[in-house]
Copies of this chain bind each other. A is one copy, B any other.
């Protein structure tokens, strides 16, 4: 039973993800931002509005997780919520002007961390790595679906 965990894709992916999050969170902290806000930030960066459900699906997280994230972002003054006048179940979420002011800085930090992370790879390896991540997520998402098919995946 001697397993080399450095050969385990799941273990290494989890480890890398934690290091990414730690690096990003450290650098975003002075801006009042954190890694969990990024998917929302990028989804809304065009200035438009999205519903909670759209944001969750877009970020690949569950609805209650997105609800909690949006609560923190609202608390921190980064988003606004506006009830739809026609369908009162729906809420439209937008970035606040204050959040949008930080766009350039946030983008720079994200780029910087990604660049540092990939600095040990040549450009071919970088391409294969990103491509592989895409294929891995596709495979895992498909396996998840087969085990537990949700109809709402449109």
Report A's interface with B, CB cutoff 8 A: 1-3, 5-24, 26, 35, 38-39, 42, 45-46, 60-61, 103, 107, 110, 113-114, 116-121, 125-126, 128-141, 143-144, 147-148
Contact = CB atoms under 8 A, between A and B. Distances in A.
Contacts of A19: 136-137, 140-141, 144
Contacts of A125: 128, 131-132, 135
Report, nearest first, the 5 A-B pairs whose CB atoms are least far apart: A17-B17, A19-B140, A120-B135, A12-B133, A129-B132
A16 B136 contact: yes
Copies of this chain present in the complex amount to 2
Nearest to A20: B10
B140 A20 contact: yes
Contacts of A23: 140, 143-144
Contacts of A116: 139-140, 143
Given A16-B137, A120-B138, A10 B110 contact: yes
Most chain B CB neighbours (cut-off 10 Å) among A1, A46, A60: A1
A26 B38 CA distance: 27
Contacts of A38: 11
